Amino acid sequence: MNMPGATQPRRFCRSGPLHGRILVPGDKSISHRAIMLASLAVGTSTITGLLESADVTATAAAMRATGASIEQVKPGVWRIDGVGVGSLLQPAAALDMGNSGTSTRLLMGLFASHGIQTVFTGDASLSRRPMGRVIQPLALMGAQFTVNADDTLPLTMRGADPAVPIHYRLQVASAQVKSAILLAALNTAGSTIVVEPTPTRDHTERMLRGFGANLSIDIGDDGARIITMQGPQDLHPCDIEVPGDPSSAAFFVVAALLVPGSDLTIANVGMNPTRAALLDVLRAMGGSIEEEDHRVIGGEPVADLRVRHSELKGIEIDPASTAAMIDEFPILFVAAALASGRTVTQGLEELRVKESDRLAVMSAALTFAGASVEEHADGLTIEGTGGAMLRGTLPGQSIATMLDHRIAMSMAIAGLVSEAGVTVDDMRPVATSFPQFERLLGDVQCR
């Protein structure tokens, strides 16, 4: 990742109890999709609670470049005047996606059925991440690609005009691949079918219906989800309220579980069942996590989470839960490092092609901070301390996060439960997903 400005090392020290009530920023996955679909609706949509991070603003910039009018009314509130399905304009220049893999893969799908040519670029980190899994189905629909030999950015895509509907069975559990196909299907005549053997986050399906798209979801004989869209579709504008991001809430959930004496409420957290596996795992480890005031916001289930310090125990985590908590494994590894006994994870090959190789980087980071970690090809085995503090890092030493925002925040939380504290080498990447992280952490420590 190419980050502007000087590095921003931070030291996170052993903490007293965490108390209070906080709001985490809007869900990143939902924010991306809300901007895209509002940009395709004919009329004005208003989005409140939008995550204003570098990744989401990259999506907004791309939709502006293809014709949508996008305006920030006030912090967290955005107004979008869409151009209509099939009416996207040719961007005048390459689209810089920064570090956002979600922006890139979903926009590839959105543009694949429009007859425009688009060049996607990104920072050094994004340019190492594989795009072949999205290119394959979109090419079957008729999109044409000029790309590096290893299917990485920069790439040039010429959208199909007209696109061809496909029947596609996902090769890997990926909400981004599924979503890319469904977004391409919006401007494709005929029935496009996506078969999903392992359920992944369903924000795209929920939001498509909210904007008026007609799609059906059935369960096959083998238990796979079969998603069918009959295109082309017209979208109508609507107002969206974005719930709090469960992936962002996860850092504070684990912090409150680990820091003795903590009693913390995290309000307005999205509780979509395709995203809630981390809470189930932490409860299985003995965590006290209560869900209060269940409600529905923008078609998404939401609740307040009350989290209290708990004595955690190590468990063997079912690989079937991986897709529903893929982004939360770095902070789960921190929880495992303080648990009693052994935590075993497997089936996590996907973590090796995220913003960093999250298995290797978290293994090295936790080991450096004093945890007992064994790395495998597809997961980590962690022998917990039984609640005893980690050693931490000595003055002058820092954790190498490889400019990965989730590694940086996870190791910041590890610093709260370490004897010497933990120095994170650079907190700048946190701006891609959770710009308020350090401020909120200070708020709950000072109450």
Identify whether 327 is a catalytic site residue. yes
Comparing CA positions, the residue from 147, 154, 148, 156 lying closest to residue 126 is 154
406 labelled ligand-binding? yes
**Residues 6+ positions from 442 with CB-CB distance below 8 Å:** none
Active-site pick, 55, 304, 327, 426: 327
Phi, psi (rounded to 5 degrees) for 267? -90, 150
- What separation in angstroms does the CA of 236 have from each of 65, 86, 185, 203, 209? 21, 14, 16, 17, 10
28 labelled ligand-binding? yes
Strand partners, 380: 375
**Residues 6+ positions from 66 with CB-CB distance below 8 Å:** 39, 83, 88, 89, 90, 91, 111, 116
Residue 420 per-residue DSSP state: S
Using the structure block, give the residue that is written with the tokens 């903590």: 262
Number of neighbours of residue 90 by Cβ within 10 angstroms:
13
Comparing CA positions, the residue from 431, 417, 365, 447 lying closest to residue 14 is 417
| Segments of 198-335 assigned E as strands | 215-219, 225-231, 240-241, 263-270, 288-297, 300-308
Number of neighbours of residue 444 by Cβ within 10 angstroms:
22
CA–CA separation, 402 vs 126, rounded Å?
13
174 labelled ligand-binding? yes
Contact (Cβ atoms closer than 8 angstroms) between residue 409 and residue 434? yes
Give the side-chain half-sphere CA count within 13 A for 251. 30
Burial annotation 271-302 (CB, 10 A radius, 16+ → b, else e) = bbebbbbbbbbbeebebbbeeeeeeebbbbbb
In the structure, how many helices (H) and strands (E) does the chain have? 12, 21
CA–CA separation, 246 vs 275, rounded Å?
7
CA–CA separation, 406 vs 358, rounded Å?
9
Query: Is the Cα dihedral 360, 363, 366, 367 positive or negative?
Result: negative
Region of 323 please: left (phi>0), alpha (psi -120 to 50) or beta: alpha
Phi, psi (rounded to 5 degrees) for 367? -60, -45
357 labelled ligand-binding? no
358 labelled ligand-binding? yes
11 labelled ligand-binding? no
Comparing CA positions, the residue from 233, 167, 172 lying closest to residue 198 is 172
Binding site for 3-phosphoshikimate, residues? 28-29, 33, 174, 176, 327, 354
Residues with catalytic function: 327
Binding-site residue set? 28-29, 33, 101, 129, 174, 176, 327, 354, 358, 406
Specify binding-site residues for phosphoenolpyruvate: 28, 101, 129, 176, 358, 406
